[in-house]
Homo-oligomer: A and B are copies of this chain.
Amino acid sequence: MEISSLGEFGLIKRLTDDIKPCNQSTVKGVGDDCAVLRFESDRQMLVTTDLLMEGIHFDLQYTPLKHLGYKAAMVNLSDIYAMNGTPRQITVSLAIGKRFKVEDIEELYSGIRLACREHHVDIVGGDTTSSLTGLAISITAIGETRPQDVVYRNGARDTDLICVSGNLGAAYMGLQLLEREKSVYNQQRQQCVGKQTDIDFNPDFSGREYLLERQLRPEARRDIIEALAQAGIRPTSMMDISDGLSSELFHICDQSHVGCRIYEERIPLDYQTAAMAEELNLNVTTCALNGGEDYELLFTVPLADNDRVSSIPDIKVIGYITREALGKMLVTRDGQEFELKAQGWNPLKEK
C-alpha cells in the first residue's frame, strides 16, 4: 500500500491507533500537540535522544526493518539504564523516502513496539514525515529515577573497580560478517548483469548466529541494573558501551578526573568473536576495545564491593581506577603496558 494513499495523519493513526499506555506516568499519549506525563513527586526524569540515518547507522540491504526498529528503540533505553534509571516513554520520529510502503513502516514500527513491550515503555508521540532520500529515525526516551539513585559518568574514584557486563566486540564482528557477505553478493550480482542467470547466493552464517544477533538485535541491560540493585550495589559511575570500551573509558576518566588500568586478559569475549577475529585476521582485543554497538554497561564500584559484584553472573571486573596522573593504561597478556587510545566509532571523522 502506498503511504501517500493514507497521508500523514492516516499513517499515524494506523501505526498508533491500538497503543494503550501501560505506565501510570503516561497521562496522555499520541494525539495532541504534546504528550502529558506525570511522575511521582520524589522522582527525577531522564531524557535521551538518538538520530539514526540510513547509510550512516544502518544498511537496509542486510538489516530487516523489524530489527532496525527494535534496535533504534533499544539503544535509547540503554541510555536510560546507563543512568541507573527506568525507561517509561519514547517518542518516535520517522522521515520516510518514496520507496517505502505502508507495510515497511508497519514492520519497522512492530520492532519498536516489541522493544517497548519488553521494557514496559509507552510510545507517547512523534512525528512522521517524508524524506527526499533515505530513512531517518529519531527516538527520544524518557525515564525516571530517584535522585539518590542516579549514576553519572563523573563519580569514579581512585581504587574503584571497573566492571563490564556481558562480552565485547561481538556486535562489531557481526557487522564485519554482514559487510563481507554483502560485498560478495554485490560482486556476484554485478557478474550476472546482462546474463540470464540467477544469483545463487546462500551466505552461510551457521556458527555465527550470535554475532549477527548482537549486531542486529542488541538488548539493553535492564537485568544488570536490577541485579546491582538487588545486591545493594550503587555504581560510582556508569555508561553504556555504544562507541567502544576505550572511548567510553575515556569519558568516565575525563569526567571523573581519574586514570584507569585495565587488563587485556580480563576483557570478556565470546568464543564466536574470537573465532571470527582470527578468520578475518583481526586482533580480537582491538575489536573489543574499539568496536561499538555492544550496548553493554561499563561501570565502577567501590573496592569494598568486590565480592558482591564478582558474584553477579555476567559481570566482570576488568581493572581499576587510578589517580589521573597515572594515565589510562592497558596491561596486555604478556604484562606490557600501553596507553589506551579512544578510537571508537565516530560518525563525523574522516574515513
Contact = CB atoms under 8 A, between A and B. Distances in A.
Nearest to A6: B348
A164 B134 CA distance: 37
Contact of A348 (B11, B41, B46, B54): B11
A35 interface: yes
Contact of A82 (B33, B39, B44, B126): B33
Copies per complex of this chain? 2
Interface stretch (A89-97, A165-173, A179-187): A89-97
Contact of A46 (B36, B56, B57, B96): B36
Contacts of A49: 91, 93, 125-127, 138, 140
A48 interface: yes
Given A4-B349, A34-B79, A95 B51 contact: yes
Choose among A43, A51, A128, A129 the residue with the greatest number of B CB atoms under 10 Å from its CB. A51
Interface string A74-97: 000001101101000101011110
A24 to B, nearest CB: 13
A279 interface: no
B31 A239 contact: no
Chain A interface size, under 10 / 10 to 19 / 20 to 34 / 35 or more: 35 or more
A238 B82 CA distance: 37
A8 B348 contact: yes
A53 interface: yes
Nearest to A94: B51
Given A34-B79, A56-B129, A130-B53, A95 B45 contact: no
Given A94-B51, A95-B136, A8 B346 contact: yes
Contact of A349 (B7, B55, B56): B7
A270 interface: no
A95 B53 CA distance: 7
B6 A125 contact: no
Contacts of A143: 34
Interface in A124-174: 124-134, 136, 138, 140, 142-143, 147, 150, 152-154
Contacts of A48: 33-35, 91, 125
Contacts of A85: 34
A178 to B, nearest CB: 18
A303 interface: no
A114 interface: no
27 contacts: A4-B348, A28-B152, A32-B239, A33-B82, A34-B47, A34-B80, A34-B83, A36-B83, A37-B44, A37-B47, A38-B45, A41-B41, A41-B42, A47-B91, A49-B127, A50-B127, A51-B93, A51-B94, A51-B95, A51-B138, A53-B95, A53-B136, A56-B129, A56-B131, A96-B348, A130-B347, A132-B134
Interface of A: 2-4, 6-9, 11, 27-28, 31-39, 41-51, 53-57, 79-80, 82-83, 85, 89, 91, 93-96, 124-134, 136, 138, 140, 142-143, 147, 150, 152-154, 238-240, 255, 346-350
Nearest 6 pairs of A and B residues by beta carbon: A41-B41, A138-B138, A51-B93, A34-B46, A4-B350, A33-B82
